[in-house]
Amino acid sequence: MEPVIDTRAGMSDLLERVLDRGVFVKLDLIISVAGIPLVGLSLHAALASIETMNAYGMFGDWDTSTRAEAALAQGPGKVGLEVGETVVFEQFAMVRSDEGIMRAWRPGRAYLTDRRLLLVRRSPLEVLASLDLSDIAGMGSYGFTEAGVTSQVLCLADVDGALVLVRTPEPELFEASLTDLLRRHDVQVARLDEAQLVAAFPDVVAESQLWHNVGGSGEWRAGWACITAGSFSFTSDFERRQVLDLPWADIQRSAVERRHLGAALGERDVLVVVRAGDDEEFAFVGPHLDRWATAIRDAKSRTRETGS
């Protein structure tokens, strides 16, 4: 880029050239006191228009995702819908996600259209599930227990046998709207009974997000606690693996205790699970701790009664 001298150029001309060609700034600064260097600053910055940045391979993914999110903010009809596709019903929903050992309910918006069921996460923009109406082969619901609270889960089976699990604040209304949509499109759907669905998900009795105190160090990490027929377990989001799995026979007691968690957290209720034998404590914080303590005691009691 050759330097150009133009005495008639104004601020607008300078700004246009900066955005069109771009400017790269490199600054190395050391602040010293009495000849002793104390603070160092190394700055590398680029300034240009997004088009110029993209041309040099910068901010491409960010630009794409930002434009998609902006389109989503303009309305559901602007995102992910095909030409001529119309939204019939919309509601907040959560879809079940299974990634290896990680099991979680991911929140988003559910759109019933004249062609399919579409579940979209708003930020960052992501299509959580998309199922054409003509591909829905089975439908049913079953009770899902989360920390002692039972809610209905709508389960949809596609023509290949894959299952899509959806939870909404109004499951009856959502299922009725989907049933009416399928009827109007003359889609024949088999009814999945609760026994079939429980057989597909036999272990999970309760599951929700909690925070676990790692090794009593005061460091709390988020993850998913789970009660199954055989144990109480905790899977860490940070480590992406199961870090605790206590069979019911190894649990001495579970209780909610008021504890001081340091200056930053203050006093809080803590779920304490004590392992038999070495009396090691495992501490958790989060919502519905009383329900968790009761659910653990009930599961342990049922195991003792059945002798399993």
Q: What pLDDT was estimated at residue 145?
A: 63
Res. 136: pLDDT tops 90: yes
The pLDDT of 5-17, averaged and rounded, is 63
> Where on the phi/psi map is residue 148: left (φ > 0), alpha (ψ -120 to 50), or beta?
left
The owner of tokens 């019911």 is 248
More confident residue, 71 or 105: 105
Q: Identify the residue with better confidence: 44 or 95.
A: 95
The CATH code of domain 206-306 reads 2.30.29.30
- Percentage of the residues of the chain whose pLDDT score is greater than 90: 29
What is the pLDDT, as a whole number, of residue 186? 94
Q: Is the pLDDT of residue 279 over 80?
A: yes
pLDDT at 250 over 80: yes
pLDDT: which is higher, 76 or 5 = 5
Mean of the per-residue pLDDT values of the chain: 80
- The mean pLDDT value for 104-123 works out to 87
Confidence band (pLDDT; 50, 70, 90) for 100?
very low
Q: Is 35 left (phi over 0), alpha (psi -120 to 50) or beta?
A: left
Give the domain ranges of the chain: 11-58, 86-200, 206-306
Q: Residue for token digits 């501490």?
A: 283
**Mean pLDDT on 109-115:** 92
Nearest Cα neighbor of 189 from 153, 143, 165, 158 is: 158
**86-200 and 206-306: same fold?**
yes
- pTM, 2 dp: 0.47
More confident call, 17 vs 69: 17
Of 274 and 2, which is predicted with more confidence?
274
Match domain 86-200 to its CATH number in 2.30.29.30, 3.30.420.10, 4.10.520.10, 3.40.50.80.
2.30.29.30
**Confidence check: pLDDT of 255 > 90:** yes
Residue of 174, 59, 70 lying closest to 122 (CA atoms):
70
Residue 2 has pLDDT above 60, yes or no: no
